[in-house]
Chains A and B, each alone.
Chain A
Amino acid sequence: MKNNSSSKGNSRRDFIKKSVFALGAFAIVPRHVLGGKGFLAPSDTLTKAIIGVGGMGRGHIEYEGTKLLAMCDVDKVHLKDAIALAGGKVRGYSDFRELLAQPDIDIVHIATPPHWHGIMSVMAAQAGKDVWCEKPMTRTIGEGKRVVEAMEQYGRMFRLNTWFRFKDNFYGLGTTVKPLKKVVDSGILGWPLKVTISGVTGFNWKFYWVGKTNLQPMPVPSELDYEMWLGPAQYKPYNPHRVHSTFRGYWDYDGGGLGDMGQHYIDPVQYILGKDNTSPVRVDVDSPQQHDDAVGTWRRIEFTYADGCKIILDGENKDTTVPYIEGPKGKIYRGFKSDIPNILKLVDTFPDPEPQVSTFSESVISRKKFGLNEINGHRSSTIVNIGKIALQLGRSLEFDPVKQEFINDEAANRLINEPMRGPWKI
């Protein structure tokens, strides 16, 4: 412990030195504006680049329909490994702004920690790129609003990288979301509905994404551009637990298991309930006190919509017989069990929901909004962000879904926009 004191001292000097970060001017050259090869021709292969090629970003190498041209990471080792993984023939960047300036890239995949998602999405849109962004969409409600505006402003396509609303079996339900949507749309369960997301209904809240309090300042490894890793987040001395696979445990970058899995679990619920254009009006929490840097666990978070629909996140799995969806006229349990006889047979005879654009290349070529885009993505990300704020404040909050502000709670409203550090703004 003792011999760490010198490095601690250094880190604090780093703090002084680096808290203001110089940045050269950067010209945005929208690819759309330049025109160029095959911008619309469906016969052309779409091209992509990935920003952030740690654990999550590497998964994007294989994503369908596009050719990988470039990658970017602030960790040299990550970048080198990922380029090797992709077969070597891709360009590597350490500053994403250089990558965005490349005219031959159609789609930018953003797989960085969430505190970068907002800025990078907006800058990619400004640069004329379509965006494929990891969940959770943004770290704050304010950043999400800005992404929605920017996509509209620059006419770009956006997909959020969770997919249960249009494909794959949805955890404990053992089916895709489609039949659930059909059941709910049919009205057979009645209204309003209560959806419980807990281990009992087949969803595991990953509480191991908790931060550590009081991280020892440590020297930054030479391969990592920590300044750029932090970017818009407030400066905090380096410690390996803060970055890479464990960053989710810190409020500055994400929100623990809720941040990690929240949008994954909640977005399909928002779709099922038909709430893609609104937000809950109230949130109630039950949790231990949260540390202001390190994310902790919680017991229960309850969101209520204006029409009485509720989404309940149960971190304790207290009610062991709780249904997944509960309405006044019927219930659906884990594994699509129901108190309505022959529900599965019945489902097939209900009308199908509106089809969704479910491959991003199709969306990029046809310019039709992707099934999970910036608008509904922002709404489901807002649910997570409302929950995070309520956790931090430890109290119930009322929310105005139109203004997208909390009602009569100044402290909560101060958390809607996290001011950004140094040169970053959105």
Chain B
Amino acid sequence: MKSIKKLYILVLLAVLCFQAAAQDQRLLKTKVADVLALLPASDNEQSKRLFRELLNLGDEGMVMIMNGVVPNGIAEGTSSRYAVSLLTHYVTSAEDKSKIENAYLVALSKATDPEVKAYFISNLKLVGSNESVKPLANYIADKDLFDPAVSALISINTADAKQVLLTSLNTQSPEIQIKLTKALGRFRYQPALESITKNASSNNAALQKASLWSLALIADPGSSSVLLLQAASSGFKNNPSEATNALVEYLHQVSAKGNSALVKEISGAILDKTTDPTQQHYRLAALKELAKADPQGSPKLLIPERSKFDSEYQKEILKIATPAANNPDAVKRWQKELKKATGASQADIFTMLVSSNPNDQSIETLLTQGISSENPQVRMAAANEMAKRRNRKYLPAVLDYLARSTDDGEIAVATDAVLRLADKSSGGVISSKIISATPKSKAALIKILAARRDTEHFDVVAKEITSTDPLVKSAAFEALPNVSANKNGNDLLKMLAAAESDSEISAIQSALIASIDNTSVSLVNEAYAKDKVKLLPVLPYLNDKSALEKVVSTFYHGNEKEKEVAFEALSNWQDNEAARTLLAIRKDAALKKYHEAAFSAFVAQVGKSTWPDDQKLLMLRDIMPLATDKKEKSMVLRAAGSVRTFLSLMFVSKYIDDPDASAAASRSVMQIALPTADAKPGLTGLEVRNTLQRMLDKLTGDDSQYERIDILTYLEKLPYAKGYESIFNGKDLTGWQGLVENPIVRSKMTKELLAKKQQEANAKVGKNWSVKDGYIMFQGDGANLSTIRKYGDVEMIVDWKISKNGDSGIYLRGSPQIQIWDVARVDAGAQVGSGGLYNNEKAPSKPLKVADNPVGEWNTFHIKMVGDRVTVYLNGVLVVDDVPMENYWDRKLPLFPEEAIELQAHGTELYFRDIYVKELSSKPYELTTDEKTQGFEVLFNGKDLNNWIGNKTDYVVEDNTIAIYPTKEGHGNLNTEKEYSDFIFRFDFQLTPGANNGLGIHAPVEGDAAYEGKEIQILDNTAPVYSKLEVWQYHGSVYGILPAKREFLKPVGEWNQEEVYVKGDNIKVTLNGTVIAEGDLKKLTKNGTLDHKDHPGLNRHSGHIGFLGHGTVVKFRNIRIKDLTK
């Protein structure tokens, strides 16, 4: 057993070594390039992984990375700097840190460019340890690098670092000395005392200043004499050495260390010498530290100061007093002061005492006394302090104060205090004060009820609208809307009937509006019968079907005054019901006076309406031709900007080049097409791409340069999908033709007969179908208009308009039809609405809802058809939900998989515009007939990874492609299940910038396919990181063996087609139609390989085909193979 086990381990070891050796055969250079290509990392996990990979490159690899750092401004250095940044920022363990530090020190010593040197020094600032101190010390005398070097030493912060700074202090120029002194001061580096003290009396004022300040920070007790001396020599005033500032800082530091004896000594000295008003702040600083050092003595010290200088000084004294004013003795002394003081000063002492003793019982008494004080400033301070305590027990006192106050300032303070103290349950107490309050206070109390939306106390407020005091009366009216609830409707209507002044009427109207709900309808209508004008403004809020009729009829039939008020009501309408009336007013030449207001009210109401997007857009398009100026055009375009549909984009994009509307149009294009801030996705497709490209340089305004970045970023990510294509060019009927019979009849015709019939049909088209002003029009009695092309699964958009008794439809797959008709044709059953699958017998034929716009208005169909299933939205409303369409021409047959789209003619006048089709490729991938006959097989069906083995977590199926995402595991291979020897392998691939993958052939499942088999490179060799590749590394080359031509890749992001032909030792690679590599591998390697590596795979002639991941995003599709051995 034992020996077997041993053997097993030996074998295992051998296998592992072999694999490791194979891995190692990748050049270090390539490994470095591979890691660099992935930088910058896309997330924290990848960062960590790449950090590890960088470290694993070892010393030699790190040197290569460091060598890549070139002076800033040269693009090749970017990824190396990312690598350095990764090393610097992600390192946490001491062991790794020291490896990295060493690498930087080597790089620093080798670098010649000062910017590069500075770069490594600044990285050492973050990772440097004591090891770096010596090397960095060399740069202190270097005029260019002194600054970063000192910064790095400061960060390194070891005893040696400080020592180095100190040693240099004595040898450098004053300029450098200043910086070093500051650093030593910041370190509070005791050993530097002597040297710094020497400089404290320097003739160089800047050096002296820095030295004094550093002494202050070090705060050695021994420095007091120097600092005092220098301050004294400046007369305790400002001078260039700022000695007094330093002394004050010293005092602060000493105090923080708790050396109260020294604090007393220095403060005493300062207080003695600072009696002049210009020295107030030094005095304050001294007092502050003294009070801190001796809290007991603080009142005695500070009370006399209260008579000095100005009121600002005195306020500062109180601030200093606050922390120590909380013991009984201090309270006693300050209370005495409080009694003596008057005016604002008394209030200041009051506030100080209260805030110093927040939890003291006596404070409650003090507050209660304060709010009844004879000094109004104390009263206000007391109210404010009560509010600050957020304790509801103070509410009665504050309310009392409010009720008895007469001064505006006091009332304001009291009001504020009430609002801060009152909670949900306080309404009763507040309103009870109203009766007895002075008029001014009464008004304030009413305002408080309003601010609290206290609908419980409507009556209290309502009573006051009859007050004889104008202040109270107007407060009550103003408060009314805020305190009204539904139950008050009756009272309000009575008030309204009695009210006379305009302001009162409008206040009551607002209150009514606030109180309205469903139960108000009959009351309001009753009142309306008595007084139209007073009630009209309320109607827009009434939610009553008859309300609009009332307003419209008053507008058209009322007197001039009523007309005005009715129009105002229409403009205020709360839903979209009034919009069409406003449009009619705008269209009526006789109502010119209302045109402008009607236009903007219409656009606003459409904008905020609940209509579906498609309907909103139709309405906006309807009014657009009526816009008379830039303002109105822009208004419509802005509103369309929030309709985020493809049609809306097509609409606004038409105005990009209109000088009047360009700005608004461009902004709206952006809003519609780009993803929103709250993550609604952007629009896709070729038209969208082109539109965005077209408006890029039309954007103006402060943020436009950034918006351009947003657009470009989006365009970069936008997949190259066709999306919606216009199938009607707006000018003529290109792409359309006359209809010949039906698909079944056509299929039985000979080619010649069909051509002849087609010619006849086309000749008829011109008689009935025409193009005008961007739409297709039908008049007369001709036949359907049909697309020349056939369509299978599609999404389709089409706008249509019919006239009275109109009848039409959209044929899909050459079959009737999605119905269009005038809903008034009840005899034909048209009341069900348009959009239904009219000819269905088994499945539903009627639409789910009537969503037609009135005859003469445009409608929008949004149709989706997959297989035989049809979904239809009419004007944004779902009318057909995934219903199969039956084959009308032969009900036994399934629907045709592909046929023309037709516009049905039925003898009435018809209009169509904006016809767009998006072809859906929801079918599994299928070979072309040619390939099928040649014997190709599908390897990837677009749906799953059957036929494939290997890493199925990184390789996923997405949008009919195989995608590899490095965010998961990075490296990984996906191999065909079967093995192949001679074959033609065809596939499409899409690269991302810097993408790196490979196609393994004749490969084993394990081991490095590039050596154990052969690897055909799949690589974005246009990326800057790959600028220095060997020819045998280019895309399409057989790695290390056969070079490829470089220039035939399509731009990154587009799909490439590639064919790999393998027969024996012969390989031929064709990219996008061009042979880029071809050769006999045996012959080519007669004298060794190009990369001078051993390629055992050259002798393998069979194996798996696989994608070899190198950690970047790549997509593949349409993968098929022809096995040449069969």
Residues of A within 8 A of B (CB): 8, 12, 15-16, 19-20, 22-23, 25-30, 32-35, 39-40, 55, 126, 153-155, 198-200, 202-204, 206, 208-210, 213-217, 234-237, 239, 245, 285-293, 296, 299, 316-318, 320, 334, 345-346, 348-355, 367, 392-395, 409, 411, 414-415, 419, 421-423, 425
Contact = CB atoms under 8 A, between A and B. Distances in A.
Contacts of B454: 349
18 contacts: A20-B146, A20-B175, A25-B240, A26-B240, A28-B242, A153-B285, A203-B677, A214-B78, A215-B73, A234-B147, A292-B84, A351-B420, A351-B422, A367-B312, A395-B92, A411-B89, A419-B155, A425-B182
A8 B733 CA distance: 60
Interface in B53-110: 71-75, 77-78, 81-82, 84-86, 88-92
B416 A208 contact: no
A210 B40 CA distance: 14
Contacts of B48: 394
Contact of A20 (B143, B284, B390): B143
A393 B452 CA distance: 49
B409 to A, nearest CB: 14
> Which 5 A/B pairs are nearest by Cβ-Cβ distance?
A199-B677, A419-B151, A208-B706, A317-B679, A289-B41
B501 to A, nearest CB: 28
A28 B242 CA distance: 8
A161 to B, nearest CB: 18
B74 A214 contact: yes
A402 B182 CA distance: 25
B39 interface: yes
Contacts of A299: 43
Contact of A291 (B40, B118, B154, B678): B40
Nearest to A284: B44
B381 to A, nearest CB: 12
Given A39-B312, A214-B72, A419-B155, A351 B41 contact: no
Contacts of A215: 72-73
Interface in B155-203: 155, 175, 178-179, 182
Contacts of B785: none
Given A12-B114, A206-B706, A40 B41 contact: no
A235 B310 CA distance: 46
Given A15-B118, A208-B709, A348-B452, 5 more contacts: A15-B114, A206-B706, A214-B78, A320-B678, A419-B154
Contacts of B390: 351
B281 A25 contact: no
B47 A394 contact: yes
A35 to B, nearest CB: 6
Nearest to A348: B453
A208 B209 CA distance: 44
B71 A12 contact: yes
A15 B115 contact: yes
Contacts of A296: 40
Contacts of B46: 289
B30 interface: no
Given A25-B205, A40-B311, A320-B678, A355 B416 contact: yes
A208 B248 CA distance: 46
Interface string B228-251: 000000000011101001001000
Contact of A349 (B113, B118, B242, B423): B423
Nearest to B123: A292
A352 B91 CA distance: 49
Interface string B207-236: 001000000000000000000000000000
Contacts of A320: 678-679
Interface in B378-394: 387-388, 390
A219 B84 CA distance: 28
A155 B319 CA distance: 11
A425 B209 CA distance: 13
B125 A414 contact: yes
Contacts of B245: 28, 126
A351 B278 contact: no
Contacts of A419: 125, 150-151, 154-155
Most buried by A among B115, B206, B285: B115
A160 to B, nearest CB: 21
What's the dominant secondary structure at chain B's contact region? Answer: helix
A237 B284 contact: no
A16 B677 contact: no
A214 B75 contact: yes
Contact of A155 (B82, B125, B316): B316
A351 B310 contact: no
A208 B90 contact: no
Contact of A292 (B89, B92, B316, B420): B89
Given A350-B423, A367-B315, A394 B710 contact: no
B144 interface: yes
Contacts of A287: 43-44
B677 A204 contact: yes
A297 B278 CA distance: 51
A345 B453 contact: yes
A318 B679 CA distance: 7
Interface in B308-364: 310-312, 315-316
Given A16-B143, A27-B239, A155-B281, A288 B40 contact: yes
Contact of B148 (A8, A199, A234, A395): A234
B77 A214 contact: yes
B240 A27 contact: yes
B419 interface: yes
A20 B147 contact: yes
Nearest to B183: A419
B284 A155 contact: yes
B90 A393 contact: yes
Interface string B112-125: 01110010001001
B676 A292 contact: no
Given A155-B316, A234-B148, A33 B420 contact: no
Most buried by B among A29, A292, A299, A334: A292
B452 A217 contact: no
A210 B709 CA distance: 10
B279 interface: yes
A368 B312 CA distance: 11
B81 A292 contact: yes
Interface in B269-326: 277-281, 284-285, 310-312, 315-316
Most buried by A among B150, B206, B239, B311: B206
Contacts of A421: 147, 151
A215 B81 CA distance: 13
A375 B71 CA distance: 41
Contacts of A423: 178-179
A348 B451 contact: yes
B992 to A, nearest CB: 14
B278 A33 contact: yes
Contacts of A393: 89-90
B114 A35 contact: no
Contact of B280 (A33, A395, A414, A425): A33
B1027 to A, nearest CB: 14
A213 B43 contact: no
B147 A235 contact: yes
A26 B281 CA distance: 20
A28 B421 CA distance: 46
Contacts of A8: 71, 73
B616 to A, nearest CB: 20
A98 to B, nearest CB: 15
A392 B89 CA distance: 7
B74 A292 contact: no
A290 B74 CA distance: 19
B151 A289 contact: no
B465 interface: no
B536 interface: no
Contacts of B41: 288-289
Contacts of B84: 292
Given A288-B40, A289-B40, A394-B90, A154 B114 contact: no
